[in-house]
Structures are given as C-alpha cells and as structure tokens.
Structure 1
Amino acid sequence: MSGLGGAPAPRWWRRDREAVAREAATAREAAAAAMLELDAALADLPDAVAAAEEAGAGPGPGVGGGRAQHRIPAPDSLARDWRDLSTHADAVIGHYLQALSNHAADDVGESAPARAAADLGAAATALREVHGQVLRFREQYGEVLAAASRARTAAGDAVSAAHAALTGALAALAGAAGSGLTDAGVQPLLDEATAALTAAEAALAERRSADAATAAARASRAAGAAADRVRGLAERAAEVRRGAASVRTRREALGTRHERLASVMSELRRRYPLSAWADVERAPQRAGEALAQADAALAALTAVLAAPALDVPEAAALLARVRAAAGRVDDEVRAATSRLARLDAVRSDPGSLLGEVQRAVVDARRFLGGLPEDRARRFRRTFEDLARRLPPLEEAVRAERPDWGAVLREADSIGQGLAALVRTARAD
C-alpha cells in the first residue's frame, strides 16, 4: 500500500514508535516548563524566609550594644512549613533531573521513548504539584514575607544613606583642612561612623536586616555629627579670633585694675576693722592667681592661633578659660571695691540704709495684709521674726563706735529674708 503522492506508508510499528517518541518529547517539554515555573516561584523564597525568620527572631542585641528595632512577628509555623516544603521540592527536582539524565539519549531501545514519556510526564506532574504548594505557601505567609522584604529594602537604603553621609563628612573635613581649620573631635566621630557602616554592610550581607538598619542609623548619626562640626568651623574660627583680640585688650585693663586693688585694701585696713571686710581680705591674692591663669591661657591661645592648622575647638576652649579667669579677676576687684564703697556710704549716711530696711518691712507688711487670712497666717511668724530685728539694727547704728560691717550684714540679711518671704507667698 502506498501513501499519498505515491510514497509508501510507514509500517504500523514504525508509526507507534514515532507517536511514543512525540509523547516523550512532549513530556520532556512539559517537565522543562514546569521546572522553569517552579524555579521562578522558588527563586527569592530562601532569602525571604531567612529574612522573615531573622526579623521576627525577637529583640536580640543590636550592633554596638543597642537593640534591633522594628521586629516583624513571624509565625512559629513559618520555619517548619518552609523546611518541609523546601525538602519536598528538592526531592521532586532531584527526581526530575534524574529522569532527564536517564533519558538524555534518544532511541535507546524500543522501550526507551515510552519510559521517557512516563518518567518525564510523572516528573512534570510532580513539579506542578510542588509549584501549587509554593504558591499556597506564598499566599499563607505573604504578608510576613513582604514585610521582611520591605525591611531588607529599608535596611539597604539606610546603608546607602549612611555611606553617603560618611562620604559627605569626609569631603567637608577635607575642605576645612584646605582652609587651615581642624577639629580633633571630628575624627573619633568619623571612626565611629566607619565602624558602624562596616558592621551594617556585614549585617546586610548576612541577611540581618534589623541589625543592618540599626548600625546604619548609628553610622549616619555619627557622620552627621562630624559634618555639623566641620561645617561650623569657619564661623567659630572667626569668633575665636575676634574673641582673642578682645581679651588681649581686656587683659591690659585687668592689670591696671589689679594694681589699684592694693590702694583699696589699704583704705579698708585703715578705716574699718577686719571683721567688716574679712571675706574680701584675700581678694588681691585670688585676683593675682586668676590673672596668672588668664595669662597662661592667653599664651596657649596665641600659640594655637599661630599653628599651621587651627584646632578651632581647642582655641575656643582656651578662649573660654581666658574669659573665665578674667571674670574672676573682675569679681575679686569688684567685691573689694564695692565693700569699701558701701562701708563708706553707710558710715556717712546710715539713715539711708535704715530707710531701705524700714521700707522693706512696711512693704512686706502691706503685702501680707492683702492676702487671704489663711495664707497670710502661714507667713506672719516669719515676718514678725524679721521685723523684730529692725530695732536692734537701729540701735547698732546709733552706737558710739558702730561696727559698720555688722550693720551691713544684718541689713542685707533682713532685706533678703523679707524678699524671700514675699516670693514664697506669691508662689504659694
């Protein structure tokens, strides 16, 4: 029998073998397609599950002694289900690869195509079943996996931001150095930022997103602090230079005032007993010590300002020391001078001092009189104790040889007590 066009028709057994071969080829293609789908479905799951497990592992120690934040609550079943699914998927894939290897060659015996069709068809079916299981796993744990993925993305962004912050701080430091300015406190911050960034990158590579985010935030903070210090160097340097010029001028005036202090102390010794000014007796010595400290700090400041690279914080600290020492000189001179002036004033016109205390007593009495009785009662005893000290003060002023130092101390004490009483009553 001939086929169409006069060509001889294939024998029946030949036709059967070709059909089986086509079935085997179809099975091979179906299995390969199923394998591709399964591989695509599984591609990101190991990392996603690992990230979810790590993110939900609980608040463990973070980098640098901190605590990892933003943990994601992963169900306890996630690890178990993933372990079972991945083990089963590996076994099915292994069977598929074995079947593919067993039937790699065509026409190996008459039964080979049939066996290939059966084995590869079974492999395709098994691969599709696993694919369905993977999709169901994704659906069940999709929210947790997505949250872990977002956490990993956020951690990656945080690491990138920290890297940019550190790069910016280093560039700012280089620019300041080019202008002859430096800050010894910047390098420790940069070292901290570098170490934290290294830890963040390592944690990110190990899929520890929470620790990576924590370390990256620490790196960004340290780098930002370093950049802030560097950016303010030029303005602070200008302030220090202006301040240095000012304290040099002030130092000359302090020297003159300190020299005049000797005459003030001489007048105190000549006019009044030691009890009237004992608390300022050592004012010249204390002022001299403070002046020496100001000179030492000023010399150190001058050296720092003359250095090739100006350490701005060090210069600012020295300037502050100069000002503090100068302030102590001023305080000592002012205390002694003021004591002499007050003693002279009360000796020449004691009535003025008494009048101030009397007015304070009257004002406090009027204030208490305007309060509700229950409130006024709480302060009346204190007021009466203070008011009773006024007559003895008046007698001390009228004494033949008044102790003007004691008079001043008592007048101040009464006045301060009355002022404190009024403040307390107002706040009550």
Structure 2
Amino acid sequence: MSAPGGTSWWRRDRDAPRREAAAAREAAAAAMLELDAALADLPDAVAAAEEAGPPAGGRRAHHRIPAPDSLTRDWRDLSTHADAVIGHYLQALSGHDPAADAEPGAARAAAAELGAAAAALREVHGQVQRFRDQYGEVLAAASRARAAAARAVSATRDAVATARAALDAAGAAGLADPGLDGVLADAERLAAGAAADLAARRAAPALDAAEKGRREAEAAAARARALPERAAEVRRGAASVRTRREALGTRHERLAPVMSELRRRYPLTAWSDVERAPQRAAEALAEADEALTALEGALGAPVLDVPAAAALLARVRAAAGRVDDEVRAATGRLQRLDAVAADPGSLLGEVQRAVVDARRFLGGLPEERARRFRRTFEDLARRLPPLEEAARGRRPDWGAVLREAQSIEDGLDRLVRTARAD
C-alpha cells in the first residue's frame, strides 16, 4: 500500500533522517552567513574605536569619542566565543558527508550536530547584536572617523595632483617658484603617512595628517596659479623703478647745494643728524643700482624665478625709498630752519597752542585723574618761557630751538594720550 503522492510509508520513514540532516545543514549554513555578515565590519570598527580617544590635553575632537574600558574586554570575550562556535560548526560540517546521509544513523547524527551548531551560531548572532546595541554610538563614531580619514587621504592626493599640474603649467610658461617643490614634497609625505596610518587602523592621526597635507597642497596650488600675475606685477614694477631711478639721480644731485646752504647759514648742531645724508643716499643709490641690475638679469633668464625677482624688486624699492628719505630729511631741515629763522613767532605759537590745549584737556578731567598728570604738565609748561627767550635772543641756535619745541610738543602729546587711556 502506498502513501499519498506515491511514496511508500516505509520509504518515507527511511528518508526522514536524510531530510532532517539536509534541513539542519541548510539552517546551519544560513546562521553562519548571517553571523558572518554581522561580524564583518566589527574588527575594524572596534580597532578604530579602541584607537579613538580624547586628544592631547584632554580636549575631544569632533570626530573622536573615547571607547569605554569595557569595550575591549567585551569584544575579546565575544570574538573568542564566536571563533569557538564557528570552529565547532566547521568541524561538524566537515565531519558529515551529505553522501553518507542515506544511512539513517549517520543522517540522525548529522542532523543533531548541525542543528546544535545552528542554534549556537544564532545565539552568538544575538550576542553580536547586543554588543552593537551597547557600543553602537562609539562604533558609529569610529566608523565615521575612519570614513572621514579615507576621504581626507583621497582629497589630499587630489590636491597634490592639482598643485603639481598648476606648477607644471607655470613651468611651461617659463615661470618658477623653487620653494613650491619642497611644499609639495611635504604634502606628498603627509599624504603617504596618512595612508599608512589609515591602513594601520589609526584613523585620527590619518585624518590630521591628511588635512594638513591638503592645506599645504592647496596653498601650493594657489601660489602656482598666481605665478603669471605675480610675474606681470614684477615686470610692471621693474619698468616703474627704471623711471624712478632716473629721477633719483637728479634728486641726489640736489643734495649738494642743500648741504652747502646748511653749512653756510647754520651751526652743525642744528643739522648734525643729516650731516651724512649725501653719503647715505649715495650708498642707497648704489644698492638700488645693484639690485636693479640683478632684476634685469632675472627678467631676461629663460625661466623666471618669480619669488626671487619679486624680492629683488622689493630691494630696489626699499633702497630708492632710503634715497628719498635722505634727500627729504636734509631738504626739510633746511626749509624748517629757514622758516623758524624768518618767523620764530609761528613756531612759538604752535607750542603755546599745544600748552593751552593740554591745560584745557586736564581741566575737563575729574580732579583725582587730573592731579596725577598736573606735575608733568607744569614741568613742560615751565619750559615755554626759556624757549621763547632763546628764540628771540641776539644769535639764536635755531637747531636747539627746534629740538626743544619738538620735545615740549611730544611730551604734551604723550601726556594727553596717557591720560585718555588711564
């Protein structure tokens, strides 16, 4: 007699152990796949979480969350137990050949061992899920930090490549900035170090190094892209200082008659500080010529070292400025002496107004504050009558008169500024 479906009852009973063994094998394989998926990212995430922590000085960066001490212990226990359960499953799987399951005894043993393995695998999977629930925030933060570090390493490499391309383009145009080679080499070194840190599961140092390298590479790219405009500015500046150099020669020649007038009309004490103006101006003019010659050579080279040319241009301008300063100082001294000799009352009036203004200022202060500055004011004010006497004497020393007038005015100015800030 046959059972429904055409299978004899005795055959159905004989096949039952084999079907149970196959079902147990499938259940165990499914549990193993599920556990393997749950464990796949945990070793890296835990390693990253263990590495992450408060940075130096106790401050926490936004991408770091310190891992609790229990995480390492719990992960060690969990991973050790999971390895043992997986080992038992693999042993059970290798110890039961599906071809031998036709024998009822072997099939029942396979079903029992593989069923137990499946249950153990599912139990570990539950433990993994509880571990994730407990440490999810730390693990997620570590994963974000690792992802951020990976993006930063990639961005740094891109920034270095961009900077290198910009520097190559400038070189093709005959422009150079030798300092950029070192900057790019440093950025490349930082990128390589960041990649090594990332591979060694040190996400935080990798991110720091990568960000520093990216900033250096971006700065280098900006400098490289700016070379054409900087070179144009240097060329315009060179044309300007050539014209200025011609004017400086004429101005320097005017110093001789100015110094002659000073020597003829006033004692040395009145202009001793500008006595060497012609020599200092000549030295500055010679430096301007030397730098200008070097600048012309740099501009005529096959490849223009832009920073070096800019430094030479700045040197020419600084030297030319010193020539102007010396000529202005000597000329101004003669004009000032002539003015005070012709009209000493004008100078005295300026000092008198400064005294009056300071007195009014102190008068508007609270008595306690004004008292602290009154002695200084009175000392300065007492110097005005002797100044007037010296200026109106028979043979005034106009240099001494000018210095004393300036000293009084400077002292009053300091007094007012100090009182205001008090």
CA distance in 2, matches of 1:165, 1:261: 56
**Post-superposition shift, 1:20?**
1.7
Aligned to 1:334: 328
CA distance in 2, matches of 1:373, 1:15: 118
Cα–Cα, structure 1 residues 151 and 257, in superposed 2: closer, same or farther, change >3 Å? same
Question: Is 1:44 the equivalent of 2:41?
Answer: yes
**Post-superposition shift, 1:248?**
1.0
**Aligned partner (choices 360, 368, 383) of residue 354 of structure 2:** 360
Unaligned runs of 5+ in 2: none
Aligned to 1:64: none
**Post-superposition shift, 1:194?**
0.6
Cα–Cα, structure 1 residues 84 and 393, in superposed 2: closer, same or farther, change >3 Å? same
Mean CA deviation greater in 381-390 or 369-378: 369-378
CA distance in 2, matches of 1:425, 1:76: 61
Cα–Cα, structure 1 residues 140 and 394, in superposed 2: closer, same or farther, change >3 Å? closer
Counterpart amino acid of residue 300 in structure 1: A
Question: Pairwise mapping of residues 4-403 of structure 1 onto structure 2 (< 5 A)?
Answer: 9=8, 12=10, 16-56=13-53, 58-59=54-55, 70-104=63-97, 106-107=99-100, 111-403=105-397
Q: Are the counterparts in 2 of residues 53 and 74 from structure 1 also a CA contact under 8 Å?
A: yes
Cα–Cα, structure 1 residues 21 and 189, in superposed 2: closer, same or farther, change >3 Å? same
Query: Percent identical across equivalent pairs?
Result: 75
Q: Are the counterparts in 1 of residues 17 and 104 from structure 2 also a CA contact under 8 Å?
A: no
Number of residue equivalences: 418
Cα–Cα, structure 1 residues 275 and 9, in superposed 2: closer, same or farther, change >3 Å? closer
Cα–Cα, structure 1 residues 49 and 282, in superposed 2: closer, same or farther, change >3 Å? same
CA distance in 2, matches of 1:8, 1:97: 34
Aligned partner of residue 99 in structure 2, secondary structure: coil
Cα–Cα, structure 1 residues 194 and 69, in superposed 2: closer, same or farther, change >3 Å? farther
Counterpart amino acid of residue 29 in structure 1: E
CA distance in 2, matches of 1:4, 1:367: 123
Q: Are the counterparts in 2 of residues 59 and 69 from structure 1 also a CA contact under 8 Å?
A: no
**Post-superposition shift, 1:55?**
1.6
Mean CA deviation greater in 69-78 or 33-42: 69-78
CA distances 1:311-348 after superposition (whole Å, capped 9, x unpaired): 22222111111111111111111111111222222223
**Post-superposition shift, 1:359?**
3.0
Root-mean-square deviation (CA, aligned residues, Å) is 2.4
Mean CA deviation greater in 331-340 or 351-360: 351-360
CA distance in 1, matches of 2:157, 2:418: 56
Cα–Cα, structure 1 residues 375 and 43, in superposed 2: closer, same or farther, change >3 Å? closer
Q: Are the counterparts in 2 of residues 276 and 403 from structure 1 also a CA contact under 8 Å?
A: yes
Query: Structure 1 length as normaliser, TM-score?
Result: 0.91
Counterpart amino acid of residue 216 in structure 1: A
Q: Are the counterparts in 1 of residues 14 and 104 from structure 2 also a CA contact under 8 Å?
A: yes
Q: Are the counterparts in 1 of residues 100 and 106 from structure 2 also a CA contact under 8 Å?
A: yes
Unaligned runs of 5+ in 1: 62-66
**Post-superposition shift, 1:364?**
2.9
Aligned to 1:416: 410
CA distance in 2, matches of 1:235, 1:242: 11
Counterpart amino acid of residue 384 in structure 1: E
**Post-superposition shift, 1:8?**
10
Counterpart amino acid of residue 23 in structure 1: E
